[in-house]
């Protein structure tokens, strides 16, 4: 008799890409719950639409590319992209906004580059940035974190999403908007004038809990060794250090450290966006640099730029730099005195 011939190793860990993706998706649960709790049913609609559109578009492109649809859909990478995009968009966004975002995330940023593993940019962030630049009004129209009971009803939500009906009376500034729009006021004045802060425990009503939720999910992923600590820690430390250095005790509009850490998409970005392995640097050293640079860019855009938040821009800018970082951050291999550079000239 003869046997199947295959090369070693013959044993495999039970891990799989699907499991990794599903774990990441599951880890968004605390943050997702916080979002629903403060912003209402709109978050659920967002997420549901994003997932439906993304999977459908992924399947369509796989069909056009003549790839086995079930095999590739089952890696669940499109699901994760959809969840991240859905969580990043303002609740109650019109359906077409989500659709356009999904097209750019799944079709353009991912499949046109060759599918999973070949995309140089974070797909969710591409979709987000395209929308932010193309439809700035819709993209800054966040409802106030009034709580699930006071949030728009299901009927209002559907009319907003599908009929483009305005949700007057529900919208409100996010904490970072508040800072950006209140230039010239002291931090104390902002805190006093903006209800989003007056109702807050530490750093903006609702948003602080959303960020803590994502932090919790991120710690879960770290524990599961889905990614290494290097990039998120580097990013958060850099952001903390920068905001601390530039905070002068509240005598101008510079936001305090906790506001930076626990508002906007800080924690979502730190644990779910910049840890996307495909578009980030690969080595531990490289990921430290990658994360630190994102932290620095986030702070600089928030503090000196025109946009209230900056995770998407910072991540995309550093996606550009990732291969460059990789070239110069090879680890020192066993038996070598120092690490090499990928750019050095070698004779084959």
Q: Contact positions toward another protein, by CB under 8 A?
A: 1-13, 15-17, 19-20, 71, 75, 77, 115-118, 225-228, 277-278, 280, 282-284, 326, 330-336, 340-346, 348
29-39 and 17-27 are packed helices; what angle lies between their axes, rounded to 10 degrees?
30
Q: Tell me whether residue 5 or residue 306 sits nearer to another protein (CB atom).
A: 5
Tokens (6 digits) for 149 = 């009971």
CA separation for the pair 218, 30 (Å, rounded): 10
Instruction: Name residue, tokens 């994502």.
Output: 214
Nearest-approach distance from CB 26 to another protein, in angstroms: 16
Nearest-approach distance from CB 236 to another protein, in angstroms: 19
Nearest-approach distance from CB 20 to another protein, in angstroms: 5
Cα-based angle 143, 147, 153 (whole degrees, multiple of 5)? 70
- From the list 221, 232, 319, 214, the residue with the least C-alpha distance to 270 is 232
Instruction: Name residue, tokens 């803590």.
Output: 212
Residue 36 dihedral angles phi and psi, to the nearest 5°: -65, -40
Nearest-approach distance from CB 12 to another protein, in angstroms: 6
Nearest-approach distance from CB 343 to another protein, in angstroms: 8
Q: Tell me whether residue 110 or residue 303 sits nearer to another protein (CB atom).
A: 110
Question: b/e for 46-58, b at 16 or more Cβ within 10 A?
Answer: bbebbbebbbebb
Q: Tell me whether residue 48 or residue 332 sits nearer to another protein (CB atom).
A: 332
Nearest-approach distance from CB 290 to another protein, in angstroms: 12
Question: b/e for 185-215, b at 16 or more Cβ within 10 A?
Answer: bbbeebbeebebbeebeebbbbbbbbbbbbb
Nearest-approach distance from CB 134 to another protein, in angstroms: 29
Q: Tell me whether residue 17 or residue 134 sits nearer to another protein (CB atom).
A: 17
Burial of 250 (0-12, 13-18, 19+ CB in 10 A): middle
Q: Tell me whether residue 144 or residue 235 sits nearer to another protein (CB atom).
A: 235
Q: Tell me whether residue 74 or residue 159 sits nearer to another protein (CB atom).
A: 74
Q: Tell me whether residue 243 or residue 280 sits nearer to another protein (CB atom).
A: 280
CA separation for the pair 344, 297 (Å, rounded): 29
Task: Give, for 85, the enclosing helix (H) or strand (E).
Answer: helix 77-88
């Amino acid at each position: 008799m003869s046997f199947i011939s295959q090369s070693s190793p013959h044993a495999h860990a039970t891990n799989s890409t699907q499991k990794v993706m599903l774990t990441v998706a599951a880890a968004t649960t605390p943050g997702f719950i916080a979002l629903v709790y403060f912003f209402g049913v709109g978050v659920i609609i967002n997420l549901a639409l994003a997932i439906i559109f993304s999977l459908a578009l992924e399947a369509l492109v796989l069909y056009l590319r003549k790839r086995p649809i079930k095999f590739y859909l089952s890696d669940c990478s499109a699901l994760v992209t959809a969840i991240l995009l859905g969580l990043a968009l303002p609740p109650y966004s019109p359906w077409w906004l989500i659709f356009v975002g999904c097209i750019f995330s799944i079709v353009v940023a991912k499949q046109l580059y060759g599918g999973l593993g070949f995309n140089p940019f974070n797909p969710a962030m591409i979709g987000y940035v395209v929308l932010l630049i193309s439809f700035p009004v819709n993209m800054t129209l966040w409802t106030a974190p009034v709580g699930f009971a006071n949030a728009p009803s299901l009927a209002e939500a559907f009319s907003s999403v599908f009929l483009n009906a305005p949700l007057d009376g529900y919208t409100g500034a996010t904490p970072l908007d508040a800072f950006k729009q209140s230039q010239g006021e002291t931090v104390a004045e902002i805190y006093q004038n903006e209800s989003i802060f007056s109702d807050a425990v530490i750093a903006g009503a609702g948003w602080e809990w959303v960020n803590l939720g994502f932090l919790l999910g991120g710690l879960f992923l770290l524990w599961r060794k889905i990614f290494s600590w290097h990039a998120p820690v580097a990013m958060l430390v850099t952001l903390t250090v920068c905001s601390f250095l530039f905070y002068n005790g509240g005598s101008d509009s510079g936001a305090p450290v906790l506001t930076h850490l626990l508002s906007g998409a800080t924690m979502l970005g730190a644990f779910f966006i910049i840890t996307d392995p495909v578009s980030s640097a690969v080595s531990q050293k490289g990921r430290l640099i990658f994360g630190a640079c994102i932290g620095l860019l986030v702070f600089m855009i928030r503090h000196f730029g025109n946009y209230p938040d900056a995770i998407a821009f910072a991540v995309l800018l550093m996606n550009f730099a990732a291969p460059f970082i990789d070239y110069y951050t090879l680890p020192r291999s066993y038996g070598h005195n120092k690490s090499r550079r990928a750019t050095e000239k070698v004779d084959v």
